[in-house]
Amino acid sequence: MKVLALGGSGGMGRFAVETCMEFENISEVIVADINEEAAIAFSHSMNQKVSGLGLDVTDLNALKKAMEGADVVINTVGPFFKYGPPILEAAIETGCHYLDINDDWEPTIEMLKFHKKAEDGNSTAILGMGASPGLTNMLGAAAIQELDEVETLYTGWTMDGAAPEEESSQSGVNAAMIHAVQQMTGKVRVHNDGEPKMVKPLKQVTVDFPSFGEFKTHIFGHPEAITFPHHFPSLKNSMNLAHGSGFGILKWIMRLVDWNILSVEKAAGIVQDLSSSIREDLETKGVETGIDMVRNSLDEPPSLYALAIGNKNGQKASCGTTFRASDLISMGEATGIPLACGLKLLIDGKITKFGVFAPEGAIDPNDFFKELYEISDLFEKSEEVGSEGLKIINIFRSWL
């Protein structure tokens, strides 16, 4: 199969390309970036399957021409509120399968509406196959499997150390930082009491996580709050949450944006500097940075998790899921490697549905975590992993 990697030399895309170029069922990977020089230079550092191409994704004719020879498009070009819907539509119209790392809830609503068009064209599109969304969706799907009925689903993560990758084709303020500001200002959509609702972000929420106990976190606008009720209509509540040491400062920065004192771009630059400062502070203290998927104690919230609350055997119950990885990983790895994992499942025939889906709507979490174990270095390979794949995550059950 031939893969077109849009933004493939960026901070997130490069990890997906580096991983998927080793897949036997992939014959060619074309790295397309508006920075042609960076795309070609990056491709030369990869294996012989990878080539570079200069491409402006806003030029729809050039975009569709690049897609015509591809079987699958993987899209890491942000911000997705701007580029997600037109790129997805172009992929469907050219008969390509599609995966991305879309982390904006607004375009997710619009992109899910392409479901019938993709289904009629025998195309599969997976939205948000990164860290959050992505890993969190698969953790949520695994938690849901543990309960008989689920009423509430939380996904959550830490912002500490979540700084942009230093090596990237992108310059200036990082698109992920612009996205973060937009998801912490104005109003965001959650699912509450069985209905979609618009609420102020950063509102404090107390979570009671099995084995961890209660901890405080904050509402953060993300697609998981939209997609879980979309794929699991019986859910009454769904929210994405974030925590970290810098939220006191972040709240004031976001107020200045809401009051039109700071622009989104200026605030994004401040958030980027703050994230880098927190990362440097962690490094100074001898703590590796990135997404910490392993906690040696239960004294603080897990860094990446899902929590399902409902019923088990007729009793109220909850199930929390986190990773049991062997080390810490960067934002780029935590985003790009899951994207490559979703691609592997697609080309190997493990994703069989046609249409547009979030990960939890089309991917079996057992298949996902088993494949993630196989293709990545996130886990000690000496560990025994069962065929169900779930042994590589921690499962915390309230009834045990």
Any idea where the domains of the chain sit in the sequence? Answer: 2-131+331-375, 135-323
Predicted TM-score of the model (pTM) = 0.88
Q: Answer whether 127's CB lies under 8 Å from 108's CB.
A: yes
**Helix (H, G, I), strand (E, B), or coil: what is residue 65?**
helix
> What is the distance between the alpha carbons of residues 130 and 335, in angstroms, rounded to a whole number?
4
Instruction: Calculate Rg over the CA atoms of the chain.
Output: 20
Of the pLDDT bands very low, low, confident and very high (cuts 50, 70, 90), residue 299 is: low
pLDDT given at position 293: 43
Average pLDDT estimate for 369-380: 81
Higher pLDDT, 272 or 232: 232
Q: Which pair of tokens denotes residue 3?
A: 């893969």
Residue 344 CA from chain centroid, whole number: 16
Residue 305 DSSP class: E
User: Which residue intervals of the chain are DSSP H helices?
Assistant: 13-20, 36-44, 60-68, 80-93, 105-112, 115-120, 135-146, 175-182, 224-231, 247-258, 264-284, 331-347, 359-362, 365-375
Percent share of the chain, pLDDT over 70: 82
Instruction: Enumerate the β-bridge partners of residue 312.
Output: 315
Query: What size, in residues, is the chain?
Result: 400
pLDDT at 272 (0 to 100) = 65
Q: Which fold has domain 2-131+331-375?
A: Rossmann fold (3.40.50)
Query: Tokens standing for 234?
Result: 């019986």
Alpha helical stretches, state H, 215-330: 224-231, 247-258, 264-284
- Rounded to 10°, the helix 331-347/365-375 angle is 110
Cα maximum dimension of the chain: 61
Average pLDDT score over residue span 131-158:
96
For the chain, the 3-state helix, strand and coil shares in percent, each to the nearest 5, are 40, 25, 40
The residue among 203, 240, 211, 264 whose CA lies nearest residue 81 is 264
Helices (H) and strands (E) in the chain, counts: 14, 16
Peptide bond into 302 cis (omega under 30): no
The verdict on domain 135-323 having CATH code 2.60.40 is no
Pairing of strands 149-158, 304-312: antiparallel
Write the CA distances from 277 to 162, 176, 282, integer angstroms.
10, 16, 9
- By C-alpha distance, which of 318, 301, 288 is closest to 156? 301
Q: What's the pLDDT at 332?
A: 86
Chain segment 55-111, per-residue pLDDT in tens: 999 999 999 999 998 999 999 998 898 999 999 999 999 999 999 999 999 999 999
CA atoms within 13 A on the CB side of 298: 11
DSSP strand pairing (72-75 vs 2-6): parallel
Buried-state track 218-256, b at ≥16 Cβ within 10 A, e below 16:
bbbbbbbbbbbbbbbeebbbbbbbbbbebbeebeebbee
Please give the average per-residue pLDDT across 146-157, as a whole number.
Answer: 96
